[in-house]
Amino acid sequence: MGSQDNSALASNAFLTDKSAKVFVAGHRGLVGAAIVRKLTQLGFTNLILRSHAELDLTRQSDVEAFFASEKPEYVIVAAAKVGGIHANNTYPADFIGINLQIQTNVIDSAYRNGTKKLLFLGSSCIYPKFAPQPIPEDALLTGPLEPTNEWYAIAKIAGIKMCQAYRIQYKWDAISGMPTNLYGPHDNFHPENSHVLPALMRRFHEAKINGAKEVVVWGTGSPLREFLHVDDLADAVVFMMEKYSGLEHLNVGSGKEVTIKELAELMKEAVGFEGDLVWDTTKPDGTPRKLMDSSKLASIGWTPKISLRDGLVDTYKWYLENYKQ
């Protein structure tokens, strides 16, 4: 891809103008809210934010009208149909259709309305189920996907390719970041449709409050997952907006993995539940392992700061103070 790698598009100007218009799509979600917190801390004064109710990003004409009127200088795409293994497996049409619509509308309208730079967020599920570990960026499209999330993965791969195609054809500064499994404040704590970490936090908390003797955890407990606190991701997003401009997507991980059993034990301790774990092996394990190789991002100067243990304590504190069922 060397000759097409328009790294000369790099402007390193994102942090110099804090009054620039920045559209954070999906600002009420786990990731979008963390990016807004980070940009606000940094002194950005002109964030453009629209809730789903105010602007449905699947509606092409509404998105076009919004971009034509607001003309954001920078765009961060953190709006998506997102969920854990059960949601991905149960609603394949939503996961491919809604995500293709949102990202296509936003990326195309941003380009057509003069946005200087756009960052698209994908996910580590884009890689083949049995990719080499840790997974380098160039493992993309080298093998079959994990079946529980292939619909979502195909949409995310299309988003990466769309950014690359616009970069090549239009010399436009669109980049992509692939975060590992995330957690933190404003996560989705739905009992079935969420990811494992918020699901277990809520289940252990409710078991503790109700004096339950056991908590059910899905699968065998053997899959390995890499977790990153969303405040670290927001820091990486700002870093990439400032420092990175290239054709290739960049992995964003913590470099540390735990088994689901280890996660459940850590969660039990963080929440203070004293009963037993029961494994429901009728539920899918999903991909056995997906540790990403984030050395490219590290080589340009970004590394994470928040340990899983500290992040769990911080997130449980947020849950206790804020979560309303």
Ligand X SMILES: NC(=O)C1=CN([C@@H]2O[C@H](COP(=O)(O)OP(=O)(O)OC[C@H]3O[C@@H](n4cnc5c(N)ncnc54)[C@H](OP(=O)(O)O)[C@@H]3O)[C@@H](O)[C@H]2O)C=CC1
Ligand Y SMILES: C[C@H]1O[C@H](OP(=O)(O)OP(=O)(O)OC[C@H]2O[C@@H](n3cnc4c(=O)[nH]c(N)nc43)[C@H](O)[C@@H]2O)[C@@H](O)[C@@H](O)C1=O
| 289 binding ligand Y? (CB under 6 A) | no
At 244, list the tokens: 């990175």
Number of residues that bind ligand X (CB under 6 A): 23
Of 77-85, 267-275, 295-303, 306-314, the segment contacting ligand X by CB under 6 A is 77-85
Residues 159-218 that bind ligand X (CB under 6 A): 179, 181-182, 188, 195
Question: Measuring CA to CA, which residue among 245, 301, 254, 219 is closest to residue 8?
Answer: 245
- The answer for residues whose C-beta is within 8 angstroms of residue 218's C-beta and 6 or more apart is 85, 86, 196, 279, 280, 283, 284
The contact mask relative to ligand Y for 80-119 (x = CB under 6 A, - = no) is ---xxxx-x-------------------------------
**In a 3-state reduction of DSSP, which class is residue 77?**
strand
Q: How far is CA 306 from CA 67, 226, 268, 314, 315, in A?
A: 35, 13, 19, 10, 12
Q: Considering the complex, what minimum distance in angstroms separates the CB of residue 177 from ligand Y?
A: 13
End-to-end CA distance of the chain: 48
H or E element at residue 47: strand 47-48
Q: Tell me the number of residues near ligand Y by CB under 6 A.
A: 25
Q: Binding partner of residue 78 among ligand Y, ligand X, none, CB under 5 to 8 Å per kind? A: ligand X
Which residue in 67, 111, 152, 183 binds ligand Y (CB under 6 A)? Answer: 152
Closest to ligand X by CB, 17 or 310: 310
Structure tokens of 23?
A: 């559209």
CA distances from 278 to 134, 194, 203 (A): 30, 19, 12
Q: Pick from ligand Y, ligand X, none: which does 29 bind, CB < 5 to 8 A by kind?
A: ligand X
Write the Ramachandran bin of 211: left for phi over 0, alpha for psi from -120 to 50, otherwise beta. left
Q: CA-CA distance, 119 to 245, in Å (whole number)?
A: 10
Q: What is the CA radius of gyration of the chain?
A: 19
199 binds, among ligand Y, ligand X, none (CB under 5 to 8 A by kind): ligand Y
Q: Is 74 a catalytic residue?
A: no
The H or E element spanning position 25 is: strand 22-25
Q: Which is nearer to ligand Y, 44 or 152 (CB)?
A: 152
Question: In this structure, how many other beta carbons lie within 10 angstroms of the beta carbon of residue 90?
Answer: 13
Q: Binding to ligand Y by residue 39, rule CB under 6 A?
A: no
Name the binder of 291 from ligand X, ligand Y, none, CB < 5-8 A by kind.
none
CB closer to ligand X, 190 vs 243: 190
For residue 252, count CB atoms less than 10 angstroms from its CB and return exposed for 0-12, middle for 13-18, buried for 19 or more.
buried
152, 166, 244, 316: which is the annotated catalytic residue? 152
74 is a site residue for ligand Y (CB under 6 A): no
Q: Residue 28's binding partner, choosing from ligand X, ligand Y, none, with beta-carbon cut-off 5 to 8 A by kind? A: ligand X
Q: Is 149 in the site for ligand Y (CB under 6 A)?
A: yes
Does position 30 interact with ligand X (CB under 6 A)? The reply is: yes
CB nearer to ligand Y: give 223 or 246. 223
- Which residues of the chain form contacts with ligand X (CB under 6 A)? 26, 28-32, 52, 56-58, 78-82, 102, 121, 123, 179, 181-182, 188, 195
Residues serving a catalytic function are 152
